[in-house]
Structure 1
């Protein structure tokens, strides 16, 4: 019964969070995930003590994490981020990884290589899922700035997962690389199958069951997710890599086999993910958040502003330096701020680090706290800069107007 009561409270928080987002939108656009985590902290053992995690809740939370990474993989549109833009995004992330690993190992204070990897990879992530809705609403998503931001954000989501699979497997680097290559080949085989024309009955079954209890497409999506999670586990890789690959493959399958139905299928999967599993993961993250360790006045509290600055230095600075040359200084700065916005993968990475016993509760709390501040502050500043840039682009050329008036009067 305790699990049932906690689950009811978690879902109450999941319902309350969007209402708070709506209520505060006119004064401060707070991302939904911040409310979910903060309300989880308030309900958790360190504040009100109303909720505690347990075995059942933890299983659902891990499913929520897998669904979050799956949807992140599904979001990426590689057809829009090729060429020089993708190359620059990849190089900026590799530079960030080097800086992040150096900072992570320095801050680990003898805690071992793996602790440094958890910290370092968290510093290189980008919250693409939090950024895209803002760009969509502002009208920037389909323009040049949106394309570059999507490229930078996609690499910022894909890169840390690959890095963790290589560096945290517990195997020798060469063997880890072989296993990762084997996973890549199997994934490539799945992609090849996904791109091949499907028999007519496949699309027909999807269309016929879209509004029935069979829901063939949704069940197929869940099969892809579970199968890739199982493959990653069999190969000894992080399950995040399997979830991410499942998202990429599923997008190709649905858009190739049933392009007219793919958006509706995605909306159903998103409803299941963002309506239940993903908010449950974020609320449980708040419940398990070690607020006492953060506010104890020790090292953890001092690390929070340090991590916030490191998000800018490790992730933002390389993006600013290596951004495409056609972006002016203001857009490069906005791009760097968007790239430095990091919370979902920070939560995922720190959760895994704490579960593995490699990352301290205080360090994890400081990283997540810095991530929450980053999604509150960095996108707001970046959007203001983009608004000014758009205003400058739309501003009429007074000299040209006067010259035109002179010609007409002549």
Structure 2
């Protein structure tokens, strides 16, 4: 029994080791290039997985840890949504840009593949934005709280949430009418939960949240995780994708904290960030690399050729509408940077390709090509975007007008 336990934990040990090694390598390489930790985590996953040296094969423990990582990644993306910052015209323009991208994406996929489930998956994948992936980059670079950061947040919110809704409607296995009714039921539960969380909690709960932040009890963190698991349970019961539940949980927890515990918001966020980005989310990205089917990709040169094509389509289909409709009030460099950040794609690509391959609608080679293009988008686009934002800041400091939100 003990031998079986050790055997089951060994792959997890290797994965956690890779998650620790990734930021160390990023720090060393930082002398020459700014490399997102996410990309290196996935690359290390490929190296240690079946496509590399074969140290790790997925088991139930790894699957559970990776699933929790994806849930917390989407939770943190939902938590970052501040309606006061992205509301009004900013959010409407972001919505219009995503709607244009949806039409362009489905049209391009139809032209390439004809109308099929695969075309639907690829067309939808071209409209996503890796909000949960680029948020740490924006936060670490100090631009998240700027007007530019608010624009990326609005574009990413729509680019993350809207595809999740379409996944629930069209790719959940239900007929559209049934899927719509179940989706409405989910939103009803989410709104009810948000309303209840926004109401005043008892004085005892408020006191316990406050006094246990510095103890081993950590009631606030436990409440946050309870909301995550509850919304995951609701989405699963309704047969909807779990990422929808996780994303909604982030929004609900933000409402709960800002209405009931405003004095503890920063401390709770720090602790949830530590749990999410310090433990589970790196595991999810390493496991994404473990699952990456590199042999299938390199054995199909046609699929390899689609990697740069998908990368270009991310820019044209997702980035171009954002640049055209959402750059108002930004400098020229910031407008291009906004399009680049919006054109990043990764977590939902993993979700979509998993759905496609499990259903038999997408082969492993093309799924790997799409995920590979997403990895390149996260590696390349934010780096170019940050350079452009830096140039815009230099010009602003030199006396040119600063960007305004409007």
Instruction: Please say whether Structure 1 and Structure 2 have the same fold, judged by a TM-score greater than 0.5.
Output: yes
**More deviation, 100-109/56-65:** 100-109
Cα offsets for 1:4-42 (capped at 9, x unmatched): 111111111010001011111121111111111101101
Cα offsets for 1:206-241 (capped at 9, x unmatched): 122223332222221111111111111121211111
1:179 to partner: Cα distance: 1.7
Residue 183 (structure 1) aligned with residue 186 (structure 2): yes
Q: CA 1:10–1:139 in 2, change beyond 3 Å: closer, same or farther? A: closer
Q: Which runs of 5+ in 2 are unaligned?
A: 1-5, 401-406
Q: 1:264 maps to what in 2?
A: 267
TM-score for the superposition, normalised by structure 2:
0.92
1:6-405 matched pairs, under 5 angstroms: 6-108=11-113, 112-113=116-117, 115-396=118-399
1:184 to partner: Cα distance: 1.2
1:14–1:283 contact (8 Å) kept in structure 2? yes
Q: Aligned partners of 2:270, 2:191: CA distance in 1, in Å? A: 26
1:17–1:32 contact (8 Å) kept in structure 2? yes
**More deviation, 343-352/6-15:** 343-352
Q: 2:3 maps to what in 1?
A: none
Q: CA 1:189–1:306 in 2, change beyond 3 Å: closer, same or farther? A: same
What is the total number of aligned residue pairs between the two structures?
395
Q: Aligned partners of 1:82, 1:52: CA distance in 2, in Å? A: 44
RMSD: 1.9
Q: Aligned partners of 1:300, 1:121: CA distance in 2, in Å? A: 19
Q: Aligned partners of 2:138, 2:67: CA distance in 1, in Å? A: 29
1:324 to partner: Cα distance: 4.2
TM-score for the superposition, normalised by structure 1:
0.91
1:122 to partner: Cα distance: 1.9
1:242 to partner: Cα distance: 0.7
Q: Aligned partners of 1:325, 1:286: CA distance in 2, in Å? A: 38
SS in structure 2 opposite 1:231?
helix
1:117–1:164 contact (8 Å) kept in structure 2? no
Q: Aligned partners of 2:184, 2:370: CA distance in 1, in Å? A: 31
